[in-house]
A and B are shown apart, each in its own frame.
Chain A
C-alpha cells in the first residue's frame, strides 16, 4: 500500500509538471488561414437546428394540448367498433370491405 501511495503521488507530480507546448506564430497563422477559408459567420441555420433551439420550448404546451384532446375524445363517447357495427347493420348491402375503410 505504501508503494502504491508513493507511486500515485509521483505520478500526480509528474502529470502536473509535464512539459507543455508553447504558443507560436505558426499556430496563429494556421488557425487564421483555416478560419479565412471558412468565411464569415452566418446566421443561417438548418430547420433541424432551429427545431433543436426552439422546438423543445413548445413541448409543455404540446403535452397539455395532447392531454386535453385525449380527455375530449374519452368524453365524446365515440367507440369506432360500435359505429362500424351500427353502420353494417343499418346498411348491410353497402357495408363491404371497400366502403368500410372509406375507400
Chain B
C-alpha cells in the first residue's frame, strides 16, 4: 500500500512535470517559425566637403515627392554667458522668425505655408538643428530660405520682442506641471545649478539679451565650418549638389570651430531635496546620480542593465512597483549616456502623496537588488534579444541613417559604432550586468528629489537624511547693482540731492506746495502701434492722487487715497489690488516734490553711485532708498545744472517685469519751481511712451469730490 502510494506519488510528479512541459510546448507562440528577415538595404550616403568648410551628406530617395534637409549646428546654449542664459535658444528662434536679408520673417512664413512646407531652427543645449521639409517640386524655394536663414538672418527687433515675450511666459509658467519641476530641479542637483547642462533662463537673463548679442552669437558660431548639412529625398543627386553649391557655396567661412563642451565634475554623495507644490495629489520623485558616456566600455553591460532594471515592459521596476504593488502609473529607470558629456542615472516614480515613502523604498529595493541578484537567464535573454531583434529599427528610415552618420562624424565616433554595440551586447553575461551594477550604481550616494506636499506623506523625508528644501519661487528679474554704501557715499549722495532741490527751487519753496495739477498728452508706443492719450492729474501731498486718462476706449480714472485706491472705467468701480497699490506707493516714493519737501528730516537714504554719461551728457547717479530698504530707484542728475535728468527703476512693463528708464527734460518754471515738461519712458531699452506736459499748476483748486469713493 505504501509502495503503491509512493509509486503514485512518483507517477504524479512525473505527470506534473510532463504536464508542465506539455503546456509550454503546446503554446501556439512557441511553435511559430520565423522566416528569414528581408535584407536591409543600407543606402549609400555620399559625403562632400564644400570649399568653405561645410560638410554635405546627400542621399537620393524617390519613394515620395518630398525633399528633406537637416543642418547640424555646432552652436548650443552651452555657449551662453551665464548672465545671458537663453541667448542660444532665442538666437535660433529669431533666426527663423526675424527675417533675412532678402525677406521679412512674415514673408518667409507666408512663402512656406503657401507650399505646405516647413523650415525650423532650434538651438538646444549642446547643438542646434535647422530642418526643412518640402514637396520636391518647390525644393529651390525651401533651400533658398534655409540658406538665407543660416547665412543672413536680420533679427528684426519686433520678432526679438515676440520671442522674449514667449520666454517670459515660459518662465512664469515653469512651475505649473509637477513632473517638469522635478526633472528641472533634479538636473540642477546633479550638474549644479550654474552648469550649462542644467541652468535655467530667468527674467534677468532674458532682459539682458540684446539684438547685438544674437548677431554676435550667430556670426561667431553659425558658420560653414560649424555646420553639417544632410539632404535626402526626391531629387537627382548631381543636380542637388549643384543647388547646394549655389545656395551655400558662397557662405564665407567664419572664425573657426566652436569651443568644446565643458567638462562635468561630479562628487558622489547622498542628498534629500524637497519642493513643496500646492494643488497636487501625487508626489513626483526622481532618484539617482551622474550617468556616463556612450563611448564608455561599460556602455554595453549598462544597456542590458537598464532593460532589466527599469527600461522595459518586463523590467523589475515596472513589474514590482507598477504591476505588483500598484504604486504608480509611471515608473522606470535609465542609466543614460551621452556622446559628448555624462548623462544622468535616474529612477523615477510618480505616486499618490500618501505612499511617497513606500514608493521610494520600493524603487531603492530594486536598485539594490541589481547589486545582489544577477539577471536571471530569462531577464538576460529578454534584455539582449530585445536589443538585437529590434536592431533593424535603426535603419527603417532614411532620416535615421543619414542623421546618425552626421552625428557620429561630428563627435568623431566610428561609423560602425552601432555594429560594435550589437557585437558587444551579444557577449554580455549575467556576471557582467551584476558587476557593472555594483560598480556604476551607488545606492548609498543618491540624490532623492521629491515634489509633493509633505504634510500628506506616509513618513517624513527626513528618514532619508537631512532634507534640503528647494525654493522654486521665480526671481523677479531685478538685477541688484553692486554699490558701496559708506558714510562717504551717503554724505555725497545727500549733498547732491540737496543740490538738485536747490537747482529746482529750494527746499523751503517746495514745502509750500500742498498740491499739484497737470494736463498732459501721452504717446504710447505698443507693439501693435502708436496710441495717443491725454491725461489730467492731481496730487495732494502727502499721499493722495488722481489720474484721469482719456483713451480711445473711454475714460479711465485711478484714485489713490492714502492706504486705499480704486479705478473707474465705463461706470464700473474696482478697488485696486495690493500689487497695484504697491506700485502706486513706489510712484509716490519716487515723486521728487515729496522728496525735496522732506529733505530737512530725510526719511530716505541717498547713496552716490558713480558719475557717467547719461543721454549724451555728464551725470551723477544716485540710488535713493527707503529707510526700511523695501523701495529704491536710481536718480540721475545733470553734473552741471544738478537738475534731475532721469530715473531708473524696476517695475511692470508692457512685456512683463523689467527695467524702466524715464528721461526727463524741458524744464519750465511754475511759481518759482522747476518742473520737467517732457518725459520719455523706455522699457528694457525700448521706447514705450512719450509724455508732454501741456499745463501745470502749483496749489491749484482741487474740485470737490475729487477723492470721494463713488
Whether chains A and B associate is no
User: A residues touching B (Cβ–Cβ < 8 Å)?
Assistant: none
User: B residues touching A (Cβ–Cβ < 8 Å)?
Assistant: none
